[in-house]
Amino acid sequence: MTQTIAEPPTSAAGSSSPLPPLFADLPEVFRPHWNADAPWGLLGDPLDEVLAALPDDAIEIRLGPDVHLCGAPVAIGRGSRIGPGATIEGPVFIGRDVEIRPGAYVRGGCWIGDGAVVGASSEAKRAILLPGSHAPHLNYVGDSILGRGVNLGAGTILSNFRHDAAEIVIRHGAHRLPTARRKLGALLGDGVLTGCNAVLHPGVVVGRNTQIYPGVQLRNGVYLADRVIKLR
Q: Which among 125, 148, 151, 149 is positioned nearest to 136, based on CA atoms? A: 151
Please tell me the pTM assigned to this model: 0.93
Spot the catalytic one: 134, 137, 172, 201: 137
- Measured from the Cβ of residue 189, the count of other Cβ atoms closer than 10 Å reads 29
Q: Cβ contacts of residue 93 below 8 Å, gap of 6+?
A: 50, 51, 54, 75, 110, 111, 112
Q: What is the pLDDT along the chain (232 residues), one digit of tens a residue?
A: 334 567 776 444 344 458 999 999 999 999 999 999 999 999 999 999 999 999 877 999 999 999 999 999 999 999 999 999 999 999 999 999 999 999 999 998 999 999 999 999 999 999 999 999 999 999 999 999 999 999 999 999 999 999 999 999 999 988 999 999 999 999 999 999 999 999 999 999 999 999 999 999 999 999 999 999 998 7
Q: Which among 43, 14, 54, 57 is positioned nearest to 203, based on CA atoms? A: 43
Q: What is the pLDDT of residue 9?
A: 64
Q: What is the pLDDT of residue 232?
A: 73
Residue 205, helix vs strand vs coil:
strand
Q: Which among 22, 38, 9 is positioned nearest to 225, based on CA atoms? A: 22
Phi-psi region of 196 (alpha: psi -120 to 50; beta: other; left: phi over 0): beta
Give the integer Cα–Cα distance in Å for 17 and 101.
Answer: 40
Q: What is the pLDDT of residue 2?
A: 39
Give the integer Cα–Cα distance in Å for 201 and 223.
Answer: 13
Strands 169-172 and 145-146: unpaired
Q: What is the DSSP letter of 214?
A: T
**Could you confirm whether 137 is annotated as catalytic?**
yes
Give the integer Cα–Cα distance in Å for 23 and 21.
Answer: 6
What's the sign of the alpha-carbon dihedral 161, 163, 165, 169? negative
Q: What is the pLDDT of residue 129?
A: 98
Domains of the chain: 5-229 (2.160.10.10)
